[in-house]
Structure 1
Amino acid sequence: MDFKKYKTFQVVADTLNLTRAADQLGYTQPTITLQLQSLESELGVTLLGRSGKRTFLTPAGKLVKRYVDRTFALMEEMEAELRKLEHPHGLLTVAAPEFYCTQYLSLILHSYIAENPNVKLQLFSCDSNDAMKKVSSNEADLAIIAGPCELPQIETMPLGREDLVLVTTSELLEQHTLTELLGTYPFITYKSGSNIQRLVNECLSEYGIAPEKYIACVSDETIKRTVMYNTGIALLGAGLVEDELRKGTLAEIHRFPGKIETNMVMLKKRIAEQNIHSFAEIVKRIWKEWG
């Protein structure tokens, strides 16, 4: 199929004037005539007729014109969609625990949109386990999580490590020994099955404590707020409690250096997608700047 001949016919059919069609196409009139004759011979129909000085479309010409217009419109649409693949566009969904959403992702999202204005961002605030599930089910394109991810279909990109800190309120620590705290107040921790709970248990075992009472929470932010109401003790990431430790609202009982990893996760089969790749690059760049 010679698209040049069909394009020539489309322009002639739009203008119904060979001189104007020649100007638009950059051809000579004899060239246009030869192309039209070749197309008519190929299709076995007459496309154009003349009445005096007037050029008109035959019934076959009108029919071919409708299909030619639709064909070239589809080709233009295809080319536009292909151009979009060169630049991020459409919807990008990110999942992360509340702490990452408020402390880190607000800046990252601002930087990403500034560089990729054609992307619409959607942010899910959920715990790390749910964030991984959303990535696995394609409900989220990628996620920032605390702790490891061992799902075989997911690619894990380490972003950094931070200390885990055993904390309670300064008020409770002044009034009780650690033994008294553990015997009287509950240990406030993540819900059973959390990907970070195993790490918490390892740290408690390493420090030689075995709490008798527990309160399970769905997020680290909830754990912190529960501790701050003089409810008990908890093991949390240093980044989450650094302001409270500095102000003296919370007190540090023990610190486990570099125990908790922050990871970015996505499906392995989707790593090369423009939206995901471009967002991941900005996350890695900004996280490295934070050091």
Structure 2
Amino acid sequence: MIPSPKIYVAGHRGMVGSAIVRHLLAQGQPAERIVGRTHAELDLTDQSAVRGFFTQEKPDQVYLAAAKVGGIHANNTYPAQFIYENLMIEANIIDAAFRNGVRKLLFLGSSCIYPKLAAQPMCEEALLTGTLEATNEPYAIAKIAGIKLCESYNRQYGESYGIDYRSVMPTNLYGPGDNYHPENSHVIPALIRRFHEAKLGRAPSVAIWGTGTPRREFLYVDDMAAASVHVMNLPADIYHQHTRPMQSHINVGYGEDVTIAELARSVAEVVGYEGEITFDPSKPDGTSRKLMDSSRLNALGWRAQMGLEVGLKNAYRDFLQNCAAHP
């Protein structure tokens, strides 16, 4: 019998990494063949430590889901950390993977790689065709570098070493395992926390950053995990029929978007907050619209399954179970 591949999930305790582990286990991957390390056990910004880990473990596949992430406030406040840590993590892992014979690697990026004024929905060819959104430019540049690392290793070593490193670019993710920090979280967990606290405190109103008019697309994290495993396991000839020559990245989206105002009302309803929702136009909106063109991945046999209404209920349940009692 052919043994199951040894799979390293970088960031296995994060929202996306833990969802990938859940999906792999559900598909029958033996738990003992899934490798993970906490930050305390392995600092991914330390090149020597990462190389030592790969030399010891020798994984067959790598899901690179580890990253420093956050919302508009966090990106604006810590730009140096966002670009430095993400560059170091991806460079160390991708190079160490190559040096230790890993042929299949999946890098997880972000929709913020595309220009601020990219045509909607955003297709893969929009990469590097315009100026990035200023509020998260350092993070976006780091993620673009990760895509180009994969493409460059494929270009230089793909044919001679048989490597095929791919990248998936998800839209805004949410769901179990999210970060509900009051300042550094993304929009859905931030809204869940604010409306929950407003409900408990019987606040008459909640003010939301920006005008409420920007449109955003949201993907449930378990759908993202399923897409990641699907892309990883696609045969090379089939995958590359749907990408341009030497391209490593493909979009992963839900296919529909909503305004921030619509989202806020939906979250308030799920949480049970009945007060007034106001908007603060003095705060930044970010990009006016970010909708992914996921037609290529759809053509490769994958579509999102979880609708926003049910997904928000699941996310709030996760918040109540894991965060509400431990702010």
TM-score tier by shorter-chain length is under 0.3
**Structure with the largest fraction of helix:** 1
| TM-score, with length taken from structure 1 | 0.28
Determine which structure has more spread, i.e. the larger CA radius of gyration.
Answer: 1
Bigger fraction of residues in strand: 1
